[in-house]
Amino acid sequence: MVNNIDDLISLSKRRGFIFPGSEIYGGLANSWDYGPLGVELKNNIKREWWKLFVQMRTDVVGLDAALIMNPKVWTASGHLENFTDPLIECKKCHERYRSDIVDATKPCQKCGGKQTFTSPTTFNLMLKTFLGPTEESANVVYFRPETAQSMFVDFKQIVQSSRQRIPFGIAQVGKAFRNEITPGNFIFRTREFEQMEIEYFIQPPKKKSDWEKHFNNWLDEMKQWLKHLGINKKNIHYAEIPDGERAHYSKRTVDIEYKFPFGQKELYGLAYRTDFDLKNHMESSGEDLSYTNPDDPKDKYIPHVIEPTWGVDRSVLAAMCEAYAEEEAPTSEKGETAKRVVMKFPHWLSPVKVAILPLLRKPELIKITKPIVKDLAKYFTVDYDETQSIGRRYRRQDEIGTPYCLTVDFDTIEDKAVTVRDRDTLKQERIPVADIVNYLKNKLKI
C-alpha cells in the first residue's frame, strides 16, 4: 500500500497512468487526464462492473442518458435548492473552504490569518452552462451532478420497453459535474468525474425489514466488489450517516470509506432514497410514474429505491493505492537484490496483461517476436518493448502491474519456446509458443 500520495502521483505521471490536464497552459483547477495506461485501468473497472452488475444479472438493465437534462429535472429533484455545501472565505486572502471540512476556528491554511473567516453561506454545486446562441437566463442548463436522475426520469420508458418486474434495477456509468469548492487530493475530488450507479426499485415497504433486506443485499454486493478490486477489508470503514447529516432525499445512508494516504474518506455510498424522486418527478411533470403489477392491475404503487453508488475515479485511486508495493527482489546478479516498485493489481485489472520482450534488439529475434505479439494481441492487452536491458524492462512492467512478461531469446529459434516470468512469484517457466495463448488464458482466467 502506498504511504505517500506523491509517490503514486509521480508514478502515474512517469508511466502514463494519469497526468495534470491542460498542463502546458498551467493546468486547470485540479483536472486530470487518464493516459494510455490510465484509460485501460479505468475501462477495466467500468467493464468489470458492467459485467458483474448488468450482464450477469437478469434483474438489472442499463442506460446511457444525456448529460444535460431539462432544468426542471433539477428543480423537482431538489438539487437546485438543496445541493449545496457550506462555504466560508478568508477575508484576508479570499481563499474559500468548506466549513464542514475545515475548522474555522483554526488559522487559514493558505495565508495563516487568524479569525479571518466569513460566516458560512450556502454554495450550490451545480455547474451551469447555456444552450443555444444567447446567454439569457431562459437558456440556462446544468451539467448533471449525479447520474441518478435520468434513471428516474426514464423509469416509465424502461419499464414499458424492458418488461422488467419489480424488484429490478437500472444501471448507468457516466460523467457527473460538481462545482466543488475545494477540489484536491489528486483524483479524489475533481469537478468532473465518473460514477457507476444503480437505482434498484422495490415495492413500498410494509415494514422496515422489507427495505432493509434489499439494502443489506446491496451492501454485501459492494463488499464483494471491494474484495474483487483487491482492497484489503482492514482499510475499509462503514460509516452510518446520522439523521440531519444525510442528503436531502435519503432515509438511510452508509458511506463506505477507504484509508487513503491523506485520510479516511468516502469511496462509495449506499442510500435508501424512498419514493422521493419518482414522487417529485410525477408531481412536477404530471406523468404517471407509478408501477402496475402485470399479474394484478389493482396492485399499483410508486416504487421505493435503494441506490448503491460507486465513484469510478475513486475506485481507480483506491485500487492504485492498494496495489502499490515496494520490495526487495533478486537481480540478475547471483545473490544480489534491489528495490522494486510493483503494482500488484488483480489480474483482471492490470492495464497490460502480457509484455512481449525480445531478449536483445537483434533482427533475428525481432523477426520471430512480432508474429507472437500479433497473435496474443487478439486475446489480451499486450505491450511490446525492445529497448534497454531485460532487467530494466522487467522493472518497468512491474511498475505498471503487468502480470506476465514473455521473453524471446536465441533458444526460441531452435526450441520454439519462450520464457514466461510471473510478476508476483518472479518464477520463470519455459512454455512452447504453440501453447502460450492457452497458458495465459488459464493463468489470467480470461
- The residues binding ligand ATP (CB under 6 A) are 178, 180, 189-190, 193, 195, 266-269, 309, 311, 313-314
- Smallest gap from Cβ 311 to ligand ATP, in A, equals 2
- Residue closer to ligand ATP (CB basis): 195 or 407: 195
- Smallest gap from Cβ 266 to ligand ATP, in A, equals 4
Query: What does the alpha-carbon distance between residue 416 and residue 73 come to, in Å, rounded to a whole number?
Result: 63
- Residue closer to ligand ATP (CB basis): 45 or 354: 45
State the amino acid at position 110 in one-letter form.
K
Give the nearest residue (CB) to ligand ATP: 311
- Smallest gap from Cβ 268 to ligand ATP, in A, equals 5
- Residue closer to ligand ATP (CB basis): 151 or 382: 151
- Residue closer to ligand ATP (CB basis): 57 or 98: 98
3 state SS of 258: strand
Cell of 390: 531485460
Query: What does the alpha-carbon distance between residue 107 and residue 90 come to, in Å, rounded to a whole number?
Result: 9
- Residue closer to ligand ATP (CB basis): 242 or 335: 242
- Smallest gap from Cβ 128 to ligand ATP, in A, equals 17
- Smallest gap from Cβ 203 to ligand ATP, in A, equals 25
- Smallest gap from Cβ 177 to ligand ATP, in A, equals 9
- Smallest gap from Cβ 246 to ligand ATP, in A, equals 10
Query: What does the alpha-carbon distance between residue 82 and residue 120 come to, in Å, rounded to a whole number?
Result: 15
Long-range CB contacts (within 8 A, 24+) of 190-194: 190/30, 190/31, 190/32, 190/313, 191/29, 191/30, 191/31, 191/127, 192/31, 193/311, 193/312, 193/313, 194/42, 194/46, 194/311, 194/312, 194/313
Cell of 409: 531469446
Cell of 143: 451539467
- Residue closer to ligand ATP (CB basis): 49 or 268: 268
- Smallest gap from Cβ 269 to ligand ATP, in A, equals 4
> What DSSP string describes 309-330?
EEEHHHHHHHHHHHHEEEEEEE
- Residue closer to ligand ATP (CB basis): 204 or 263: 263
Taking CA atoms, 22 is separated from 5, 26, 148, 403, 441, in Å, by 21, 7, 29, 32, 39
From the number of C-beta atoms within 10 Å of its C-beta (0-12, 13-18, 19+), residue 332 rates as exposed
> What DSSP string describes 34-61?
E-HHHHHHHHHHHHHHHIIIIIT-TTEE
- Residue closer to ligand ATP (CB basis): 33 or 424: 33
